[in-house]
Structure 1
Amino acid sequence: MRPWRSTLVDSLLPQLGISLPAGAPMPLDLAALFPRPMRAVWLEVGFGAGEHLIAQARAHPEVGYIGCEPFMNGVATVLAELDRQPADNIRLFTDDARLLIARLPEASLERVFVLFPDPWPKARHHRRRFISAVMVEQLGRIIAPGGELRIATDHMDYARWTLSHLCGAAAGSSPFQWTARRPEDWRRPPTDWIATRYQHKAEAAGASPVFLSFRRRRGAAATRKSLVPASGQEYIALQARL
């Protein structure tokens, strides 16, 4: 890391960083993280170099945006951009996102992004994957009813894994509904999408990313029979592709 970026980590990160209080695991006061009232709070898990995080936060100044990234080179890149052009609606967590998620209040988030997570391709490493039965339960707890979970990946086994945990046989009574109605809904990114350098790298290598959007169900969790998307054929079509 360049010396001037190390200086930013020392000087700017304490102002923007989220620290988890020691002691009893009480829920965080999200409103207290920001200097002004926010209409909603969004979370991005693993923001990398921060292109998506910064663009979304600037496009939605009324939203408090929390970014999680354990690798300090990416954190320093975001800090450098925020030093150049500040945004008071961004806060950063520089440890494992799971630790933060466990401390978030129930139904406190409107949207969560999990973009191109590490697929941990070897079978013996699958337990390290971010999406798991426990994490689906946690995300269902912290995302408000009607809220959105966006997941993007260029790794087809990880896409299968994600679908299985969120709307397939492994999902049980999932709190989420896949929103796809036609192939374009998962082949093309959302209209407000901001591409990242990782996405560009994957596409340059010939990969075709999958863009999955899930809606947090309102009311009680649905039965397994209703976990498929609005058009059940889309689930079949995507499984066939994968």
Structure 2
Amino acid sequence: MADQSSDKHPSGAPWRNFYGRFKGKGLRDSQQKYLDEDLAALSPGAVGWEENPDRSALDLAEMFPGKDVWLEVGFGGGEHMVHQAASNRDVGIIGCEPYINGVAMLLGKIRDAEVDNVKVHPGDARDMMDVLPAQSISKAFLLYPDPWPKKRHHRRRFVTQEHLQPLAEVLKPGAIFRVATDIPDYVRQTLQEVPKAGFEWLAEGPTDWREPWGDWISTRYEQKALREGRTPHYLTFRRL
């Protein structure tokens, strides 16, 4: 483990603890092929501190000419991201996911769907938000994030100000932020913390959080939740 006695990474970056998994069981040969052949071309550019120590902003107009840009934080296996890309060819979508097995699954789905309006950052969404221009993202998704169920781990959840404030900064005024989770306490924390970061909850009645969005595709994480008897919640916020 690297020495964290300093508050800086050797690259000059501030230390950021990461608590999730970077890699699971061995990749299949086809998945390794996707990583080797496709990932570099789909990279959104210089995101990490090593290649972008000055944290220069990405040129989204060059990346996605004439398109609104959406952001998916933790795309899991990529079902939702590819579904949205295929359904919205006039939009560019950037997905962030540090779990390399999930990245490999997404790349396979991108090939199958033949979508060309996506970029993939195989790393922490916080690094991506560092280099997105202010008020540049039209819609963001946080779908079935790691629940960190133990109370002492709640500070690791995405719905803390450490993550929500940078997200708010890169969202356009009026941008939509969707959160899906099957964990009641995650719902509680989301409804408590997201408005503090400058959002309003767009709910007028129970169906607004009990029923999925009209363009929703159920992911493998949601299917697991349903099999295990948990109830999905679909929360929609708007950036003020």
Q: TM-score, normalised by structure 1?
A: 0.83
Answer yes or no: is 1:209 the counterpart of 2:237: no
Q: Distance in 2 between matches of 1:105 and 1:95?
A: 18
1:25 to 55, 72, 82: 55
**Cα deviation, residue 43, structure 1:** 0.5
Identical positions, percent: 44
Q: Distance in 2 between matches of 1:39 and 1:9?
A: 26
What CA deviation, in whole Å up to 9, does each residue of 1:143-198 have, x standing for no partner? 1011100001001111101111023xxx2xx4111000001001111111111011
Answer yes or no: is 1:9 the counterpart of 2:35: yes
Q: Distance in 2 between matches of 1:111 and 1:194?
A: 17
**Cα deviation, residue 84, structure 1:** 3.0
Q: Distance in 2 between matches of 1:116 and 1:70?
A: 15
1:57-206 correspondence runs (5 A): 57-167=85-195, 171=196, 174-206=197-229
Q: How many residue pairs align between the two structures?
A: 210
Aligned partner of residue 102 in structure 1, secondary structure: helix
Q: Distance in 1 between matches of 2:108 and 2:200?
A: 38
Contact kept, 8 Å, 1:38 with 1:64, in 2: the verdict is no
Q: What is the root-mean-square deviation of aligned Cα atoms in Å?
A: 1.3
**Cα deviation, residue 140, structure 1:** 1.5
Contact kept, 8 Å, 1:178 with 1:212, in 2: the verdict is yes
What CA deviation, in whole Å up to 9, does each residue of 1:17-49 have, x standing for no partner? 234242211211122334xx2420001011111
Contact kept, 8 Å, 2:86 with 2:113, in 1: the verdict is no
Residue 96 of structure 1 aligns with an amino acid whose one-letter code is: D
Contact kept, 8 Å, 1:150 with 1:212, in 2: the verdict is yes
What CA deviation, in whole Å up to 9, does each residue of 1:68-123 have, x standing for no partner? 11111111111112223421101100001111112111110000000010011112
Gaps of 5+ in 2: 1-26
Residue 214 of structure 2 aligns with an amino acid whose one-letter code is: T
